[in-house]
Amino acid sequence: MLLVGDSITQQWGSPLDKGVLNAAWMKAFPSAKTINIGIGGDKAQNVLWRLDHGGVDGLKPRAIVLMIGNNNMFFTPETGVAAVAQGVKACLANLREKFPEAEVVVAKILPCHAPKVRFYEDILLTNAEIDKLKLDADPKVKVLDLTKDFLNADGTIKQPLFTPDNIHLSLAGYEVYAQKLAPLLKPALGR
């Protein structure tokens, strides 16, 4: 399994890091051989660079989880949200080209902050743009939208699922994420 993204992906941990956050991954996927190339602060363009400059050389994942775009929100006043959605699409296309046999789950950008905050609103708009791209028209691609799982009925974030910065996930947040990933990934992993 290959995990690709920013700090939210990075904080899943790795086989070398038996930290608290990795507990949710290990519970859901106890025997999955996992490589995590998530790096805090990354935007879609950073992922693309890493994919094309040796970051995945020699790997043969059966399944890939891609979550990217949160850090691109800092630049949406200049670029717009459609550009972020295109960045997600470009990352997916790159992964599909490199790993045509792998099943890919594209996790849409998680909500963060609060309603009426530009960052929050731009994430919702970007996720709507991602829907328009019909990424899951490819039979090897599934799109996972966790928005409803991480928001209360009034649109505020479910605080117990986040750390105090209202962006990164708590262990409870990773447990929800893992529960939603499991049925999408287990068929590809043969479990």
Boundaries of domain holding 95 = 2-189
pLDDT at 177: 97
Mean pLDDT within 22-49: 92
pLDDT at 15: 65
Band of residue 38 on the pLDDT scale cut at 50, 70, 90: very high
Q: Which residues of 144-166 are buried (b: 16+ CB within 10 A; e: fewer)?
A: bebeebbbeeeeebeeebbeeeb
pLDDT at 66: 98
As a whole-number percent, the residues of the chain with pLDDT over 90 amount to 85
pLDDT at 108: 98
Q: Kindly report the CATH number assigned to the domain that includes residue 134.
A: 3.40.50.1110
pLDDT digits (tens, 9 = 90+) for 48-102: 999 999 999 999 999 999 999 999 999 999 999 999 999 999 999 999 999 999 9
Q: Mean pLDDT over all residues of the chain?
A: 94
- How many domains does the chain contain in total? 1
Band of residue 19 on the pLDDT scale cut at 50, 70, 90: low
How far is residue 136's CA from residue 74's CA, in Å, rounded to a whole number? 27
Measured CA to CA in angstroms, residue 160 lies from 91, 146, 149, 177, 183 at distances of 30, 15, 12, 13, 23
pTM of the model: 0.95
For 153, list phi and psi in degrees, rounded to 5. Answer: -60, -30
pLDDT digits (tens, 9 = 90+) for 96-142: 999 999 999 999 999 999 999 999 999 999 999 999 999 999 999 99
